[in-house]
Structure formats: structure tokens, C-alpha cells
């Protein structure tokens, strides 16, 4: 092979190696950029998880506090303030407070609002109304601490009625402590912006709430548009002649963005921690050395080996230093996560309600309150389902399994479920509870969160309140019994008085005796039926059942009719003509009490109107209309009384509110009527003034059952 051929072969080999070097260089550059970006994005994602966990815990605390205050009468009471202070302590909030819809301010930090202060004009109150859910506000200056805060706000809604807003303040300095402790080399740092680019948390305090990130640097002008295309990513920009990498991660709960920024050069150095990038770098160096060996003389190979060894040792030393720093960061992160877990576990166990987690309908965790509530040890609850802790039939007469399947179907549809449920204790006794269900993702798995409140005392109190109202009406009913007995007693007295005269006049015959016995027995049976009617009225219903509405209306009228006749009041029942039977589901005797109470109030209103008009005689009339509207039966009770003052219309169903004065009214009759109709029978009750009196309207869902008890 001649010299020319040798040169040609060497040139071809050199060309092939140079092509391989070029391909390897380009591939290495692309892989390096991807690795660096992934490394920076993983740092941003880890920091975002920490912030999301921190925010989620505070959301849970506010949810728990809102749930607690909705179970009690809200106001400037020790019980309300105790809940707010517990939430402040649990979440390390600067303040937890409630703004009611009437402008009342209840502050857990005992802050006294200045004169003219109205919570309804504050940004936190307006934010809750606008979003109608638990959410975060944009930062604002707090009047109490004069510091920059964000607030977690939640509307307070009880039985579909808006009551006010609960809000908890987080000083931005607190959030900054949880974000700024993420270290990224020597030049990197972490900051947070909102969806408009406004700086919320940043090492440079002068930028807070005054600057937008896209306006701080010309090369960042299009960054928000890039953010909107993805929930995470990396963005290259130039700052003071240095190329930097900005990685971001969206915080779903707030819509904010957690960002990390570091010099591109330093990011490449940090990314060498990954084995893949280091290996690719070494491949590139080896190929470079091969190309240099072909271009240079054999004599300099030893020098190249020495230089390569020196560089290798330098990289290994640098790698060890970086690994040592990473190890310290990991230990710090583990310590922080343990602290967060300890705080979560403490909050989990000190909650006033039973909290349980289930996966595939089997409980995987429960707190101490659940153990106490069910009277079973922790290990016996774990693995069971909600149906395992429940009776076969619920207190509303429905099968537990069918009712639970319907609840789960609604939960899967995306709605949080809050409902009443009966559970079994370990001793076999049942107790009523209010249950809240919500699905959430925990450790990449979907679980169901159960919040359970024991409402036994509340149910007993409501039952006693209903009986107390019946007893309060007993005196008036006894007067009615006496009135109904007066006529049959007079008749019996007349029969007895006629016996001596008939005897002396020799008028006592078989026909005379039979007639007198028959008429006397008729009077006695009438008195017996009267007693039975009132005994049935005062006997409490123990279980729900289906009953016919029109027949029940007639039973109620039968009880109150003697009093109406005594006061010359006419009552007319206008029933449905095209439907003989209209069945509803509930407590029949309690519903009779509702009707008797409303008719009795109508009687009092008519008498009051007559007293006002004095010498002018007014129509004394009560009309009851029974109508069927689709799947609903509607009762309208109208009177010709004095009506209800406009200021009292919104308070008429409030407990202990009465327009009759404490001498004649207890203020619980209409409150119990509302409880029975709306809570126990899933209906609605309302009242309105007419031109010549008032009209109560009761709507009840029709039942598919025909007289079967629940």
C-alpha cells in the first residue's frame, strides 16, 4: 500500500470519526439539555408538593372548623370562639374569624373592629361569595396585623341557607418560610407568582405585590403564555448577560405558579448528579480523545492521559462534594416531612368528629374519636366497611345497602355527600349520625374521607322539644275535651233525671228502657271516641310510616273543631277531586300536631283581628286546600285573621320567637313544624300575608308506598 493510499485511508477514518464525534456531540447536547430541564423540574415539583401539602393541611383545618361551627348556633359565644381559637392554634393562623350576613364580626383573636367596620365589604368576604366554595384570596394588608396576608375563605351554608363566611389568615412570611428553604446551588432560588404574574413570594422583598414577573425582564415577556400551555416546564431567559433556566410547577389549589431559577451553567453542574448525564459526558470525552490521538503524534499521548486522569479525579471529587450536599438536603427534607406528618397525625386524632379513610369501601385508617364512637378497638374497625358498622334497616325505613349504593352513585358523580345515617355501637345499640363523604387522591390512590358526627343528643333534644310542645298544648286540648263532653253529660243528666218521673207516672216500659239505654250508650261512645282521639294525638310516633294526607287533615280538624265551633269559626276542607289517596312518608302523629298548631294559630289570629275591629263583625273562616302538583302534595291553610307583621315574617319559624307574648306563646310550635316538615319529611313549609289574613303552604313529596310502615 503506497503512501497516497495510506493518507486516503487515514483521511476516511478521520472523517468517519469526526462525523461520529459530531453526531455524539449533538446527541449529548440534546440529552444534556433534557436532563438539566428534568432535574430543575423535579426540584420545582418537590417544592410544589411541599407547598401543596402545607396549603392542603390548612384547607382541611378550615373545613373542619367550618363544619364544627355549622353544628352550633353561631355568635359571640364561648363555644364559637373556642372553635376559632382551636383552628388558629392547629393551623398556626394569625387569625380565624367569621363574618355573618348581617354584618356581625366574630374574631378568634379577640380583635375589636373599629367603628363602621363591615366584614361584608372586605375582600375575603366578597371572594367567598363570588367563588361559593372554599378558596384562597389574593394577598392583601390585614387590618389586625398590618402585614401582607392571604386568607382561606369558605361560605357557611346551613340547610341551603347562606349564613356568612369563615376566614383564616396566613401571613405571607409564613408561606415564605416554607418556600425559601429550598436551596438550588449557590445562585438559584424559589419564588411564587399568581396567574397574572404578580410576585407573591420572592427573596427580593421590593418585588412583592408591586411587580409582575413578565415586566421585570424583557426576555420574560412571553412567559405567562408559555405557563398556560402546560402545568409544568422550563423556560430559558437572559438576565444581565447570563443565561438562566426558570422551571415552574402549577399549584392546583390556588392557580399560582411555584418557580425555581438558576444559572444555566450551574444547572448543568448540578445535573451531573444523574448517572446518565455523567456517562454521556464521559463517552463524549473518550471520542474526543480518540480524534485528538489520530490528529496528534504518538508522543503527546502520555500527556493526554495525564490530563485526562487529572480531570477525572477532579470530577470525582466534585461529584462527592455534590453528593454530600444532596445528602444533607435529603436529611433536612425527611425531617421536615416527619414534622408535617406529626402535625397531621395530631390534628387527625384531636378532631371532635370521627374521621375515617376507606379504599375500595374498606376502612384503612380511623382516628381516636371513631374508636370511642363505635366502642371498638382500632384493629377491629380497619378492614370493615360502613355497612358492617350499620343496621340492616335505616331509621327512615330504607335498606342500608340500597341507600348506601345511591349515596356512592352520587359521590362518583362528583358531589360531596352529607347525609344522616344510623350506626351500631359494639354493644348492639343504634345511634344517629351525620356523615360527610368526599373522595380525594392520597399517595396516587383514590380514597374516600368519612367525617362522622354523633347527633344522638341533638335527636333526643328535638324529640323532647316536640313532646314539650304537645304538652304545652295539652291544657288547651283538655279544655276542648271538657267542651265536647259538656253536651253528652247534659244529655245523660237529663236521662237520669227523667227516670223518677217516668217511674211515678208508670211510663217505664220495655220500649222506654231500650230507647234510654240506646241513647245513653250513644253519648258514652261519643265521649269514648273523644278520649281515643286525644290519646292518639299525644302518643309520639316511634317509627316513620306512609299515611294518607287527606285523612290526616280530617283527623287534625276533628281535634280542633270544638274550639272553632266555640268561637263561631267556620273551617272548610277543599280536597283533591281526581285523586282519592295521596300518600306521604313520615311521622303521622307529629304531622297531625303540625296541622293542629297552624289551625290553632289561625284561630288566635282571627280572634285578634275581631278584637281590633271591635264592633265591626269580620268573616271568621279557615280554608284548607289539598292539591296535587306533579309528584308533590301541597296543603294551603288560609285564615281571615290579622296576618303576620312584615318584620316577623322572616323570624316566624325561629325557635322561641312568638308574637303572642310569653304568657300565651312558647315560640317553639312553628319551629317544630318546620323541623318535622323539612327535616323529617323532606318537604317545605312557608307563610305569606294575603289581603285578608295569612296563608301557610306545606309541600310534601308523594310516596310510592301504600300504607306500609317504614
Residue 54 lies in a domain: yes
Q: Are residue 573 and residue 430 in the same domain, yes or no? A: no
Q: Are residue 580 and residue 604 in the same domain, yes or no? A: yes
Residue 513, domain CATH: 1.10.287
Q: Are residue 162 and residue 191 in the same domain, yes or no? A: yes
d(CA 92, CA 58) in angstroms, rounded, equals 9
Q: Are residue 528 and residue 546 in the same domain, yes or no? A: no
Each residue's pLDDT tens digit, 414-453: 767 888 898 998 888 888 888 988 888 876 788 888 889 8
Q: Are residue 372 and residue 264 in the same domain, yes or no? A: no
Task: List strands edge to edge, sheet with 570-574.
Answer: 570-574, 621-629, 632-639, 693-701, 684-690
Segment among 377-391, 400-414, 617-631 with least mean pLDDT: 400-414
**553, 624 contact by CB (below 8 A):** yes
Residue 105 lies in a domain: yes
Q: Which of 533, 556, 579 is the last residue of a domain?
A: 533
In the chain, what percentage of residues exceed pLDDT 70?
Answer: 79
Domain count, the chain: 4
pLDDT greater than 90 at residue 153: yes
Matching residue, cell 376559632: 84
Q: Looking at residue 637, what is its pLDDT?
A: 95
Residue 581 lies in a domain: yes
**Ramachandran assignment for 244, one of left (phi > 0), alpha (psi -120 to 50 degrees), beta (any other):** beta
CA proximity to 358, closest of 456, 424, 435, 454: 435
Each residue's pLDDT tens digit, 190-200: 888 888 888 88
d(CA 264, CA 245) in angstroms, rounded, equals 6
CA proximity to 451, closest of 344, 361, 351, 350: 351
Each residue's pLDDT tens digit, 256-280: 888 888 888 888 777 665 545 555 5
Which cell goes with 537? 294525638
Per-residue HEC secondary structure of 107-138 comes to ECCCCCCCCCCCHHHCHHHHHHHHHCCCEECC
Q: Which domain range does residue 363 map to?
A: 353-454
d(CA 514, CA 453) in angstroms, rounded, equals 66
Local structure of residue 679 (DSSP, 8 states):
I
Q: Looking at residue 560, what is its pLDDT?
A: 82
In the chain, what percentage of residues exceed pLDDT 90?
Answer: 11
The gap from C-alpha 702 to its chain's centroid, in whole angstroms, comes to: 29
Q: Are residue 574 and residue 653 in the same domain, yes or no? A: yes
pLDDT greater than 50 at residue 709: no
Q: Are residue 176 and residue 243 in the same domain, yes or no? A: yes
Q: Which residues pair with 259 in a beta bridge?
A: 191, 248
Q: Looking at residue 459, what is its pLDDT?
A: 66
Residue 6 lies in a domain: no
Q: Are residue 560 and residue 705 in the same domain, yes or no? A: yes
Q: Are residue 607 and residue 658 in the same domain, yes or no? A: yes
Segment among 201-215, 313-327, 678-692 with least mean pLDDT: 313-327
Q: Are residue 81 and residue 226 in the same domain, yes or no? A: yes
Q: Are residue 51 and residue 169 in the same domain, yes or no? A: yes
Each residue's pLDDT tens digit, 343-373: 666 656 677 788 888 888 899 888 888 888 8
Indicate the average pLDDT of the chain: 79
Q: What is the mean pLDDT of residues 627-651?
A: 89
* Other C-beta atoms lying within 10 Å of the C-beta of residue 93: 26
Q: Looking at residue 4, what is its pLDDT?
A: 59
Look at strands 621-629 and 570-574 and give their pairing.
Answer: parallel
Q: Are residue 434 and residue 565 in the same domain, yes or no? A: no
User: Greater confidence, 114 or 316?
Assistant: 114
Residue 684, domain CATH: 3.30.565.10
Residue 181 lies in a domain: yes
pLDDT greater than 50 at residue 663: no
Q: Looking at residue 695, what is its pLDDT?
A: 95
pLDDT greater than 90 at residue 634: yes
Each residue's pLDDT tens digit, 530-560: 666 555 555 555 578 899 999 889 888 887 8
pLDDT greater than 80 at residue 243: yes
Label residue 40 by pLDDT band (50, 70, 90).
Answer: confident
Residue 14 lies in a domain: no
**385, 362 contact by CB (below 8 A):** yes
Label residue 662 by pLDDT band (50, 70, 90).
Answer: very low
User: Greater confidence, 523 or 555?
Assistant: 555
pLDDT greater than 50 at residue 710: no
d(CA 457, CA 418) in angstroms, rounded, equals 19
Residue 215 lies in a domain: yes
Q: Which of 437, 454, 471 is the last residue of a domain?
A: 454
Q: What is the mean pLDDT of residues 461-473?
A: 58
Look at strands 232-239 and 199-201 and give their pairing.
Answer: unpaired
Q: Exposed e or buried b for every residue in 479-490, given b needs 16+ CB within 10 A?
A: ebbeebbeebee
Q: Which of 248, 281, 314 is the last residue of a domain?
A: 281
Residue 418, domain CATH: 3.30.450.20
Per-residue HEC secondary structure of 397-414 comes to CCEHHHHHHHHHHHHHCC
Residue 345 lies in a domain: no
pLDDT greater than 80 at residue 183: no
Q: What is the mean pLDDT of residues 334-339?
A: 73
Amino acid at each position: 500500500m503506497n503512501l497516497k493510499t495510506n493518507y486516503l485511508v487515514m483521511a476516511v477514518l478521520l472523517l468517519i470519526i469526526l462525523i461520529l464525534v459530531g453526531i455524539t456531540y449533538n446527541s449529548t447536547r440534546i440529552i444534556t439539555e433534557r436532563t438539566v430541564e428534568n432535574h430543575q423540574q423535579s426540584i420545582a415539583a418537590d417544592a410544589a408538593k411541599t407547598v401543596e401539602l402545607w396549603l392542603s393541611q390548612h384547607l382541611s383545618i378550615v373545613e373542619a372548623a367550618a363544619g364544627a361551627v355549622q353544628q352550633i348556633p353561631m355568635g359571640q359565644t364561648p363555644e364559637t370562639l373556642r372553635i376559632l381559637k382551636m383552628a388558629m392554634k392547629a393551623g398556626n393562623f394569625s387569625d380565624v374569624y367569621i363574618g355573618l350576613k348581617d354584618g356581625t364580626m366574630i374574631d378568634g383573636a379577640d380583635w375589636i373592629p373599629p367603628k363602621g367596620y363591615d366584614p361584608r365589604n372586605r375582600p375575603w368576604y366578597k371572594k367567598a361569595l363570588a367563588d361559593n366554595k372554599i378558596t384562597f384570596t389574593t394577598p392583601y394588608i390585614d387590618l389586625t396585623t398590618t402585614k401582607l396576608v392571604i386568607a382561606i375563605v369558605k361560605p357557611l351554608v346551613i340547610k341551603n341557607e347562606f349564613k356568612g363566611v369563615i376566614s383564616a389568615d396566613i401571613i405571607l412570611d409564613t408561606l415564605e418560610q416554607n418556600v425559601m428553604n429550598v436551596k438550588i446551588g449557590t445562585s438559584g432560588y424559589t419564588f411564587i407568582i399568581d396567574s397574572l404574574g404578580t410576585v407573591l413570594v420572592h427573596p427580593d422583598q421590593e418585588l412583592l405585590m408591586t411587580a409582575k414577573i413578565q415586566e421585570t425582564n424583557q426576555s420574560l415577556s412571553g412567559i405567562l403564555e408559555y405557563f398556560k400551555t402546560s402545568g409544568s416546564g422550563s423556560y430559558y431567559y437572559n438576565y444581565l448577560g447570563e443565561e438562566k433556566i426558570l422551571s415552574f410547577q402549577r399549584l392546583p389549589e390556588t392557580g399560582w405558579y411555584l418557580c425555581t431559577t438558576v444559572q444555566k451553567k450551574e444547572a448543568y453542574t448540578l445535573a451531573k448528579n444523574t448517572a446518565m448525564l455523567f456517562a454521556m459526558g464521559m463517552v463524549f470525552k473518550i471520542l474526543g480523545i480518540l480524534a485528538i490521538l489520530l490528529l496528534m503524534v504518538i508522543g503527546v499521548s502520555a500527556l493526554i492521559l495525564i490530563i485526562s486522569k487529572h480531570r477525572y479525579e477532579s470530577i470525582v471529587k466534585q461529584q462527592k462534594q455534590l453528593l454530600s450536599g444532596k445528602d444533607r438536603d435529603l436529611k433536612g427534607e425527611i425531617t421536615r416531612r416527619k414534622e408535617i406528618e406529626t402535625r397531621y397525625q395530631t390534628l387527625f386524632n384531636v378532631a371532635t368528629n370521627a374521621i375515617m379513610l376507606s379504599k375500595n369501601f374498606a376502612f384503612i385508617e380511623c382516628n381516636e374519636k371513631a374508636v370511642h364512637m363505635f366502642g371498638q378497638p382500632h384493629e377491629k374497625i380497619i378492614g370493615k366497611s360502613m355497612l358492617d358498622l350499620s343496621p340492616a334497616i335505616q331509621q327512615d325505613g330504607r335498606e342500608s345497602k340500597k341507600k348506601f349504593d345511591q349515596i356512592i352513585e352520587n359521590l362518583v358523580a362528583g358531589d360531596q355527600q352529607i347525609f344522616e345515617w344510623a350506626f351500631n355501637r359494639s354493644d348492639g345499640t343504634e345511634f344517629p349520625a351525620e356523615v360527610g363523604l368526599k373522595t380525594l387522591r392520597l399517595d396516587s390512590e383514590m380514597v374516600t374521607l368519612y367525617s362522622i358526627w354523633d347527633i344522638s343528643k341533638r335527636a333526643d333534644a328535638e324529640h323532647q322539644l316536640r313532646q314539650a310542645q304537645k304538652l304545652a298544648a295539652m291544657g288547651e286540648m283538655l279544655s276542648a275535651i271538657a267542651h265536647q263532653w259538656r253536651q253528652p253529660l247534659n244529655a245523660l243528666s237529663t236521662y237520669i233525671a227523667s227516670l223518677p218521673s217516668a217511674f211515678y207516672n208508670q211510663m217505664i216500659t220495655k220500649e222506654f228502657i231500650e230507647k234510654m239505654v240506646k241513647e245513653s250508650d250513644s253519648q258514652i261512645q261519643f265521649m269514648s271516641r273523644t278520649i281515643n282521639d286525644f290519646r292518639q294525638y299525644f302518643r309520639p310516633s316511634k317509627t316513620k310510616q306512609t299515611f294518607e294526607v287527606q285523612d290526616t287533615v280530617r283527623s287534625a280538624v276533628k281535634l280542633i273543631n270544638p274550639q272553632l265551633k266555640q268561637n263561631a269559626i267556620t273551617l272548610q276542607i277543599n280536597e283533591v277531586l281526581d285523586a282519592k289517596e295521596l300518600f306521604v312518608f313520615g311521622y303521622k302523629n307529629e304531622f297531625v300536631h303540625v296541622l293542629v298548631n297552624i289551625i290553632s294559630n289561625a284561630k288566635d289570629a282571627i280572634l285578634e283581628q275581631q278584637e281590633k275591629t271591635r264592633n265591626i263583625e269580620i268573616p271568621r273562616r279557615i280554608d284548607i286546600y289539598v292539591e296535587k302538583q306533579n309528584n308533590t302534595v301541597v296543603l294551603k291553610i288560609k285564615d281571615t285573621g290579622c296576618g303576620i307583621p312584615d318584620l316577623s315574617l322572616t323570624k316566624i319559624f325561629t325557635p322561641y320567637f312568638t308574637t303572642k307574648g310569653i304568657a300565651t306563646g312558647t315560640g317553639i310550635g312553628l319551629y317544630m313544624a318546620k323541623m318535622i316538615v323539612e327535616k323529617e319529611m323532606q318537604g317545605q313549609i312557608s307563610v305569606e300575608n294575603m289581603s285578608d289574613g295569612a296563608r301557610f303552604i306545606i309541600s310534601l313529596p308523594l310516596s310510592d308506598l301504600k300504607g306500609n310502615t317504614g
